[in-house]
Amino acid sequence: MKISIIQTSLKWEDKKANYLNFEKFFSSLINKTDVVILPEMFNTGFTMKADSFCEPPDGETFKWMSGVAIKGNFGICGSYIVKEEGRIYNRWVFVSPEKKTWSYDKRHLFSMGGEDNQFSQGRSRLIFNFRGVRISPYVCYDLRFPVWSRNTGDYDLMINSANWPEARINVWNILLKARAIENQCFVAGANLIGTDGEGIKYCGDSALIDPRGEIIAETARYKEGIITGEISITELADFRNRFPVLNDSDKFTIRQ
């Protein structure tokens, strides 16, 4: 499977400008990749104006993603603000070219930024199969909480769509590798560059990492662009068989 990550700056609270910006990258990916990953809140930036920018599950951003997936013949994913049954979520959405859809609501809301005051907490993990790869998605701050993402042999690829600030970028880089190593999985982390409407700076460091913690592909810091790397489920299975760390992991149950 080929995984592509788009790293760019986001136009603050301007959905149409962000759609247009991402579209300039897609032409080079049509029929050339399997999954395209966008960052957290890719259509607005990390705004806390949840009431102003929320959409229904089948709203304009979902329709835009569906059109992109069909035209490009790839799955596209990232998070944006969704309102459903009276609750607002920072929701990660994956749309396939066959119009299949999967979604995950961010579990760990960034309380230091007031996210927990504006959004409802997700309650369930998600694992789904796309083109033979079992995928488990997470959003930004989730990366700090390894229990939530513990692999019990049920997924192959972890995706994290993030708005991870430059001030803590060393943590981002360390934790992406740690999650790959401890879970014996591939990890794809999509971040952004630039400065948002709150003055927070981002430097990128988007990356695709293998189960040994080695980088398959990475972006240049502070630069926009696309990275594409290939992952092999056959090689992953062989590595797990030869070095079966997950067999010795501790058993536990997460209380919701």
The CATH fold of domain 2-248: Nitrilase/N-carbamoyl-D-aminoacid amidohydrolase (3.60.110)
> How many other β-carbons are positioned within 10 Å of the β-carbon of residue 220?
14
Statement: residue 58 has pLDDT above 80: yes
Which run of H or E residues covers position 132?
none
Q: How much is the average pLDDT of 45-74?
A: 98
pLDDT, mean over the chain = 97
Residues 76 and 68: their CA atoms lie apart, in Å, by 8
Q: What is the DSSP string of 152-202?
A: SSS-SEEEEE----GGGHHHHHHHHHHHHHHHTSEEEEE--EEE-TTS-EE
Read off the pLDDT of each residue in 155-159 and give the average, rounded to a whole number.
Answer: 98
Average pLDDT over residues 174-185: 98
Q: Once rounded to an integer, what is the mean pLDDT over residues 114-118? A: 97
What ranges do the domains of the chain cover?
A: 2-248
Phi/psi class of residue 28: alpha, beta or left (left: φ > 0; alpha: ψ in -120 to 50)? alpha
Active-site residues, by number, are 40, 106, 140
Tens digits of per-residue pLDDT, 16-44? 999 999 999 999 999 999 999 999 999 99
Q: Please give the pLDDT value at position 241.
A: 96
Query: Other C-beta atoms within 10 Å of 199: how many?
Result: 6
Banded model confidence at residue 256, pLDDT cuts 50, 70, 90: low
Answer yes or no: are the C-beta atoms of 33 and 151 closer than 8 Å: no
Q: Which long-range contacts (CB under 8 A, 24 or more apart) does 225-228 make?
A: 225/6, 225/7, 225/8, 226/4, 226/5, 226/6, 226/7, 226/25, 226/28, 226/29, 227/4, 227/5, 227/7, 228/2, 228/3, 228/4, 228/5, 228/29, 228/32, 228/33
